[in-house]
Each structure stands twice: as C-alpha cells, then as structure tokens.
Amino acid sequence: MTAGAVEPSTDVVPRKRRGTELFLLVLALLVGVGAYVAVGIGYSGDVPADVAWVAGGFVTLALVAHVAVRLLAPYADPVLLPLVAMLNGLGLAMIRRLDLDFAAADQTTFATQQMVWTLIGVIAFVAVLVVVPDHRRLQSFTYTLGLLAIVLLVLPLLPVIGQEINGSRIWIRIGPLGFQPGEVAKICLVVFFAGYLVVKRDALALAGRRFLGIDLPRGRDLGPILTAWLVSLGVLVFQRDLGSSLLFFGLFVVMLYVATERVGWAVVGTLLFLGGAYFSYLTFGHVEARVTGWLDPFSDTDAYYQIVQGLYGLGFGGLIGTGLGQGDPTLTPFSYSDFIVTSLGEELGLTGLMAIIVVYGLVVERGLRVALLCRDAFGKLVAAGLAVSMALQVFVVVGGVTRLIPLTGLTTPFLSYGGSSLVVNWAMVALLLRISHFTREPQPLVTPLDAGDATQVVRLR
C-alpha cells in the first residue's frame, strides 16, 4: 500500500465483543427464564404451563436485539444489552408471580400485556438504531425536541384526552390506548439540554462571586436553571407528579454541572430544590401528605396503607426472602408497578434486592463510561443525561418505598408493569449503544507521507 493511503481496519475486537455480549446475554436469559420457572414451582410445585411460549418469545426478542446491535452497532458496549435483558426478564417473572394471586382472586392479570410491551420495546430499540445512524444529527433538532417535550408535558392537562389516575394527571387516553407522554419527554429533554448546553456552556462556565471556596455562577446566567425550576414546579402543581418534577429538575442540574464542571451550579440547584420543596410542602396538600407518610406512615395506617404494607413485605422477606412464589406481595397495592421493588424484596430478600440494585448500578456505570469516552461534547452530554436519568429514577423509586425519601410514584425501569416506561427505556438503551458504537469504533489508520511523496504532492499543486 502506498504511503498516505488509508489502510483498511483489521480490528478483530468486534468479533470478541459480540462473543462476550452473546455469552452475557445467555446468562441473563437463564436468570430471567429461571426466575419464571421458579415462580411456578414455588407457587404450585409445577413448572408453568406457558413457560415454552413465554421463554421462547422472550429469548427470541433478546436475540433479535442482539443481532440488531451486531449488524448496526458492532462496536457498542457489550454489557448494556445483557443487563437490561436480565432486568426485563426478572420483571416479567415477578409480574407473572403476582398474576397467579390476581387470577385466583378473579382480578386483572398483567404478564401477557407486559410481554406485548416488551415486543414493542424491542421494536423501538431496533428502530432507534436504524433511524439514528449518527447521534450527532440529533443536535440539529435541539429546539424542535425541546418544544416537543413541552407539548408532551402539557398533553395530560388537556380536556378529553387527559386522565387523572391515582391523584396524578400524567396520562392521556386516545380510544383504547393509554400512554404516559412524560416518559417520551424525558428523552426529548435530555437531547434538548445537551444541545443547549453545548452551545451555551462557555458562558455558563464563567464564575461570578466566590463564597466559601466555591465559585458561584453569575446572576445573569441564572435564567436557564430558573426556567427549569419553574417548569418542574409547574409539573408538581398542575399534574401533581412529585417524581417527574424531581427527575426533570435533577436531570438538568446534573447535566449543567457536567457541561460546565462548576460546583457552584450544583450548589445553586440544591438550594433551589430545597426552597421549592419547602414551598410545596407549605402550599400543596398532596405534597404535605407525601411528607407525612414519609416521616410517620404508622400515624394513619389507612391513609398510608400502601407504604405500611410495603414495609411489612420487606420486613417479612428478611435477608434471603421467602422464595419466589411463596410470599404475599399482592397485599401491597400496586405491587406490580409502583411497589414492585417491595414485591421483589419480599420474595428475594435484602440480598436479592441488593443484587438488583447492583445491576442498575452497572447499567449506570456503563452509561457514564460511554459519556467519559465519547469524543464529542454533544454525545458526552446525551450519554451522561441518559445514565443520570435512570440513576435518578431508580434512586427515587427505591428511596420512596424504603422511606429514605418521600414516595413519588415513579415506575422502576424495566421491572415495573407499564408500556410507556418499558418502551422508552429500551429506546434510551439503544441511543446509549449508538453513542457507544461511535465512541469505540476505531478511526481509519493513515500513514504519514514520506519525503518523496510529499515532493510529488507539491509538484502536482
């Protein structure tokens, strides 16, 4: 090959990475399918009759996702897909376990619907990999996606299509289809925040006054964070959704800190959050009720029955749990969605629940690793935002059901029943894998020109 030419890559890493991903995926599927079988054996002593089509369907979907990554993003992180497949499988097994009690009581069951939503989630996963061949193209849609996020947040407030469920107005219903638009708004906001901060980060990184060794931002630069604070308060007031309000504002503050590397923004964000939380506690009855239930749920076991039952379930599970299919998790209301963490804690014990949290920690760590290694600022912020979004959501959910913080009502990613959350989380992972592929893909090797070739180039010019 002549000097100065681009050499074709002989990298064999993709083959090894795909082998690693397939091996980890098989282990993840064994955990999920094994949990599904254990549920039937623990509940009735028999292997579930539908294990063949459920296990076959879930394994097929996971392999479809693996093949899509292999073809469309061969250099992507090999650990992310197996981790989320394991979480999805565990969630499906736990929902099936709850269905056994629901069916015995002639109540609605959810496992079949969750399997359908898993199918749609994998379709969304593949669609993102196809439609977004280069994540940097999303930067040109920064303000379009920001506007779309606002529209999605406002939709549940509209008459006719907006619905209030369990005290929160965060759903829309069009015919038989119910959907939570705030979940999609989460991705739109991540892209919008990333695109905005890439352009404005130099101005926002300028320090104002120094206080207690911390460089605080300039007063003239407080507009964006104040706007995000007001929007989050609007979600809290009009939609009565404490969890989404906390998630959106926390996401913006963390991305602002990542973009500017100024601790002062984190300090300002924390102060605004504390001020907004105290104001909300004094002003809005539903926030006061959440705080009271957090501080002393046993003061009114009827009003805070859900929290109390969840705590009893965790206590009953103890260190190693009652075993899959052998507890009573359905005694807790919404044990299949908001409180699926306590259901898992009861039957898998503290040990199993800690293992699940570790899996979430690995998902977040791999996302932050993608952000750390990404070569462009926009991709770095998008990856960090997606990882932080999942970390905040898991923290808010687990902290709420264990009384570390007030209960918020968010779903647990990949575990809880719910189509909106599951589909959007699969799409988020696909976007992370797309950025990871771009980050890990080797650059073409270019050999330098020698003196003779350089002379020829000069003469040709």
Rounded-to-integer distance, Cα 435 and Cα 251, Å: 19
Which distant-in-sequence residues (6+ apart) come within 8 Å of 233 by Cβ? 245, 276, 280
User: Going by DSSP bridges, is the β-strand pair 445-446/177-179 parallel, antiparallel, or unpaired?
Assistant: unpaired
> Containing domain of residue 176, as a range?
6-460
The b-or-e profile of 339-378 (16+ CB within 10 A means b, else e) is: bbbbbbbbbbbeebbeebeebbeebbebbbbbbeebeeeb
Calpha distance 113→313 (Å, rounded): 25
Pairing of strands 214-217, 162-165: unpaired
Amino acid at 55: A
Cα distance between residue 92 and residue 260, in whole Å = 40
Six token digits for residue 422: 């599951």
What are residue 207's DSSP bridge partners? 217
Q: Tell me the CA distances in angstroms from 139 to 95, 183, 190, 438, one per residue in order.
A: 38, 20, 11, 15
What whole-number distance in Å separates Cα of residue 36 and Cα of residue 95?
A: 10
Q: What is the pLDDT of residue 211?
A: 58
pLDDT of residue 215: 60
- CA nearest to 297, candidates 311, 285, 283: 311
Q: Is residue 330 part of a domain?
A: yes
Rounded CA-CA distance 425/88 in Å is 10
Do the beta carbons of residue 432 and residue 78 sit within 8 Å? Answer: no
CA neighbor of 393 nearest in space, from 167, 183, 108: 183
| pLDDT number for residue 461 | 44
Query: H or E segment at 162?
Result: strand 162-165
Q: Is residue 67 situated within a structural domain?
A: yes
Query: Is residue 1 domain-resident?
Result: no
> Structure tokens of 359?
């899996």
User: Contact at 8 Å (CB) between 261 and 205?
Assistant: yes
DSSP 8-state secondary structure symbol assigned to residue 45 = S
Inter-residue contact 182 to 232 (CB < 8 Å): no
Residue 416: what pLDDT?
A: 93
| pLDDT value of position 444 | 64
* pLDDT at residue number 78: 92
Integer Cα distance of 169 and 158 in angstroms = 10
Domain membership of residue 31 (yes or no) is: yes
Per-residue pLDDT of the chain (461 residues; tens, 9 = 90+): 444 444 344 455 566 666 788 899 999 999 999 999 999 999 988 888 888 888 899 999 999 999 999 999 999 999 999 999 999 999 999 999 999 999 888 888 899 999 999 999 999 999 999 999 999 999 999 889 988 988 888 888 887 777 776 666 777 877 777 778 888 888 998 998 898 888 887 777 665 566 555 666 665 556 667 777 777 777 766 667 777 788 888 888 888 888 887 887 788 888 888 888 888 888 878 788 888 889 999 988 888 999 999 999 999 999 999 999 999 999 999 899 889 999 999 999 999 999 999 999 999 999 999 999 998 999 999 999 999 999 999 999 999 999 998 888 778 999 999 888 999 999 999 999 999 999 988 776 656 655 555 455 444 44
Number of residues assigned to the chain: 461
pLDDT of residue 1: 44
Provide the domain count of the chain: 1
pLDDT score of 460 = 41
Judge whether 248 lies within some domain: yes
Task: Give SS3 for 209.
Answer: strand
Residues paired with residue 7 on neighbouring β-strands, in sequence order: 445
**Among 360, 364, 386, 384, CA closest to 373:** 384
